[in-house]
Structure 1
Amino acid sequence: MLDIKNIHKHFKGNEVLKGIDLSIEKGEVVAILGPSGSGKTTFLRCLNLLEQPDQGALHFTDGSLDINFAEKITKAKELQLRRRSSMVFQQYNLFPHRTALENVMEGPVVVQKKSVAEVRERALKLLAKVGLQDKADLYPSQLSGGQQQRVGIARALAVEPDLILLDEPTSALDPEWVGEVLQVLKMLAAEGWTMIIVTHEMQFAKDVADTIVFMDGGVVVEKNNAKDFFDRPQQERTKQFLMQTKAVEFEDYCI
């Protein structure tokens, strides 16, 4: 569905991404793992131009859209890319002055210019899908963190994207709310949504992802199917990361 080639990104002379390549098939779930500062979030933000890569390219394999980041990107191409992808953020990024329902309706009404009646019906169905049909008229301040993030997921689905980008969707949640969000993501994976998820939830990545990408220092260190990645890692840096992760999980269990 999508080929990503040689993505580079600098911030104030610091090279954060050093040539990232990734191919994604329709319906594939890709989990991106790695230590803090490895470039995971920057890479994700580059995919819908929240950050402008310095070089590299995106190619939709159906021939509908090609973007060369070394060239000036037209507004039309920028809008076309953003209409084909949705982002779910760490901190929810809901409009505080809009209800849950209005947050879900915002994109299709404002960006896609669809009718309010049509969008309202679908938005209510999406809130029901994420278990929030009774919260439609509540504002973000009246919702728990897990509920806000589920509204964020419903909002991402509302524009019917080809690709959903999720940036550590559980990292800002209290432990009691993590499970409810992960259950929704498991449901979306089972339904065949194409997703790239930056996450630190190892068991979730193992259970749900088709492909694991491990990044460190702005490069892809290892890429493999989930089973082989966790059971038979190939690179020493990957093995070290997984051992450290297991040690942290054990310490958390013992507290």
Structure 2
Amino acid sequence: MLYQGVLTKMETQYENPIQYFLVFENDFLNMNQLLGKTIKISFVKYQCLNCGLDKPKYRQGFCKSCFYEVPQAADWIMRPELSTAHLGKEDRDLEFEKKAQLQPHIVYLANSSNVKVGVTRKSQVPTRWIDQGAHEAIEIVEVPNRYLAGITEVALKAHVSDKTNWRAMLKNDAKDENLVAWRERLKDFIPDETKAYFIDNNAETNLEFPVSKYPIKPKSLNLQKTPEYFGKLVGVKGQYLIFEDETVFNIRSNEGTVVGIDVVA
């Protein structure tokens, strides 16, 4: 059976294990049900997530011109400390920025390849941790806007990483950490503006991923170089599909690509 559509990040449900869904315009696939099956992934074309044209994707699923125009790709997305909606200042689209920035945000610690600090909207907990492939996470502060979360992250990343090593995450190399203890150690480095928002009464969230075999030396599938790939699906973690031959396919980095997916056996 052939499914075809433009890739966007997999939808998830927080269960044990995590449930993954690849959602197309008129159909969807529960990826957990494909574990142990051989599937074919075929490159069809590009489709910008904004303009919908078949133009080479540039970043975040957008073509180059859209990437520099749409508010969903502005600098404050990756660097929340650059948010200005709380000041009434527009970057690309003030109404969009108010909706996205002026809502509760969480600064958190997650352990995927290592302990890292990050920022997410409160409504995206625990989805953000699932997307990063974290097997444990904990909240540090809950603040009323994105700017305050951003300046807190900047202060804390001087003392803890803000990056995930995707290879280590996929190899399941991360060791268990006491995130409550980590949070206590970092407490003194929280900026004065957000100290009042410190959370000290919640425990770690633990996440289980549907993986039967972790790769030892993961190699990334590039559909531009290999436009047709066959592989037996043995796991899903973060936003990656993991295959028996240790090939991994990053759905998130291939957003804006139209693919065909066929369940072969």
- Please, what TM-score do these two structures have when normalized by structure 2? 0.26
- Please, what TM-score do these two structures have when normalized by structure 1? 0.26
Q: Which structure has more helix as a fraction of its residues?
A: 1
Q: Which structure has more strand as a fraction of its residues?
A: 2
